[in-house]
Amino acid sequence: MRWNADGFDAVVWDNASSHLEAVVQSWEIPLVQQSTYAPELNSTERVVNKEIRWFLKGKTFRTFTERVLAVEKQLRRWKADLVFIQRLCGYYWIRDCFVLLNQVADTQELLAV
């Protein structure tokens, strides 16, 4: 309910068993199901598994809190860099595939005439 109040139109989930439970499925918000493992379609996977790990590589922290604060600071930097966020979350190959498919369809229409 809170996600609706916060302006979310839908939630994208993978097919983890916990996401398929009746309580989750009963939520009053559309749940968009992805294949079980589709990291190329999940920008969160990209942020967590690539960028944050790369950011932390070789760094040491005295406490867990120090590590959390460093990650939070880096996330705020990334948030302020729109170009970085677009590069990180934008999957241009998907758009390019649609463009190519439209070109193929147009070519086939011309050949059919």
Instruction: Tally Cβ neighbours within 10 Å of residue 10.
Output: 10
Between CA 101 and CA 109 the distance in angstroms is: 12
Q: Residues, the chain, total?
A: 113
**pLDDT-derived band of residue 110, with 50, 70 and 90 as boundaries?**
low
pLDDT for 69:
94
Between CA 59 and CA 20 the distance in angstroms is: 38
**Residue 12 in tokens:** 């994208």
pLDDT of residue 64 exceeding 80, the answer is yes
If one compares 2 and 32, the residue with the highest pLDDT of the two is: 32
Mean of pLDDT values over 18-45:
71
**pLDDT-derived band of residue 62, with 50, 70 and 90 as boundaries?**
very high
| Portion of the chain with pLDDT greater than 90, in percent | 16
pLDDT for 7:
72
**Residue 59 in tokens:** 């760094």
| β-bridge partners, 12 | 32
Q: Are strands 31-33 and 11-13 parallel, antiparallel or unpaired?
A: parallel
pLDDT of residue 59 exceeding 90, the answer is yes
pLDDT of residue 58 exceeding 90, the answer is yes
Answer left, alpha or beta for residue 14, where phi above 0 means left and psi between -120 and 50 means alpha.
Answer: beta
Mean of pLDDT values over 30-56:
73
pTM of the predicted model as reported, rounded to 2 decimal places: 0.45
User: With contact defined as beta carbons under 8 Å apart, do 70 and 77 qualify?
Assistant: no
Q: Tokens 């398929």 sit at which residue?
A: 20
